[in-house]
Amino acid sequence: MKNHNQPVAVEGYPFIGLFAFVTLVLALLGWAFLTFLALCLTLFSVYFFRNPERVVPGDAEAVVAPADGKIVFVGKVNDERCFHGEAVKVSIFMSIFNVHVNRVPFSGKIVDMFYNKGQFLNASLDKASLDNEQGGIILEAANGKRLLFVQIAGLIARRIVTYPKVGDLLNKGERYGLIRFGSRVDVYFPADAEVIVRLGERTVAGETIIGYLR
C-alpha cells in the first residue's frame, strides 16, 4: 500500500515540486512579495499532504475513524449498496487543514467496490452522501460482519484516490487512499452495531474509535 512510511503523501510531490520551482524562479527574478507567496504555497502543500504515524487501538471489535475531521452526521439511514435496508451512518468532514490520508476502519476483505460520478456540492451537506462524486469499499470482517466506507468529493476536492482492489485483505488503521483538497468520508454500520460518537466530535484517522462490530 502507498504512503506506508513517507512523512508526506506521494500524491503531494507534484504540487510541492511545482510551487518550490516557482518560488525559486521568483526569487532569482528578485520579486520578493511573489516569492513569499509562492513559498507559503509550497509550505502549505507540505502541510496539507502530511502523513503522520498513528497508534491503532488494540480492541479487535473496535471500528476506527477513516479520516481526520469533524462528525457532521450520525444516524440511521436506508442503504441499498451494502445492507439492503437500514444502516447507521457516520459522516466525517475534512477541512483543508486536516490530514487527508484515509485509513481502513476495520480489518477484513474487500468484497466489492464502486465509483460513481456526480456533483461537487459542499461536502458538509448531508445530500453530498448521494449526489457527489464518490468511491466506496464494502469490507467483510472475519466474523462475517460487513462495513461500507465511502470517500466523497466536495466543493474543492475533485480527486479521490483509492489504493486497494476487490479481494485485498486490509488491516485496521492502514492507509488506503486520500482526497484532494478537503471533503468527507462516510462509514455505514449494520443496524445493530454499536456507534459511540456524537455530532460535532473530532476524529483522528486510525485512532479514534467510532463504534464496534460485536
Residue 131 confidence (pLDDT) above 90: no
d(CA 3, CA 175): 7
> Out of 6-10, 49-53, 68-72, which region has the weakest mean confidence (pLDDT)?
6-10
Domain check: are 72 and 152 in the same one? yes
d(CA 31, CA 60): 56
Sheet holding 209-212, edge to edge: 62-64, 209-212, 194-195
Domain assignment present for 55: no
pLDDT at 117: 80
Over residues 32-47, the pLDDT tens digits come to 999 999 999 999 999 9
Domain that holds residue 136: 62-212
Tell me whether residue 183 is one of the annotated catalytic residues: yes
Domain check: are 74 and 133 in the same one? yes
Domain check: are 157 and 191 in the same one? yes
Domain assignment present for 53: no
Residue 2 confidence (pLDDT) above 80: no
Residue 54 confidence (pLDDT) above 60: yes
Domain assignment present for 3: no
Domain check: are 97 and 183 in the same one? yes
Domain check: are 75 and 24 in the same one? no
Q: Are strands 146-152 and 134-140 parallel, antiparallel or unpaired?
A: antiparallel
State pTM to two decimals: 0.87
pLDDT at 116: 81
pLDDT at 57: 94
Domain check: are 79 and 171 in the same one? yes
- Report the mean per-residue pLDDT for the chain: 89
Domain assignment present for 146: yes
pLDDT at 120: 54
Catalytic-labelled residue, pool 45, 91, 129, 183? 183
Domain check: are 37 and 126 in the same one? no
pLDDT at 124: 53
Q: Are strands 108-116 and 62-64 parallel, antiparallel or unpaired?
A: unpaired
Residue 4 confidence (pLDDT) above 80: no
Domain assignment present for 54: no
Domain assignment present for 116: yes
Q: Is 17 or 128 the better-scoring residue by pLDDT?
A: 17
Residue 3 confidence (pLDDT) above 90: no
Q: Is 22 or 154 the better-scoring residue by pLDDT?
A: 22
- What CATH number should be reported for the domain holding residue 182? 2.70.70.10
Please return the burial class of 59, using the count of CB atoms within 10 Å of its CB with bins 0-12, 13-18 and 19+.
Answer: exposed
> Which whole number is the average pLDDT over 135-148?
94
Question: What's the total number of domains in the chain?
Answer: 2
Domain check: are 81 and 184 in the same one? yes
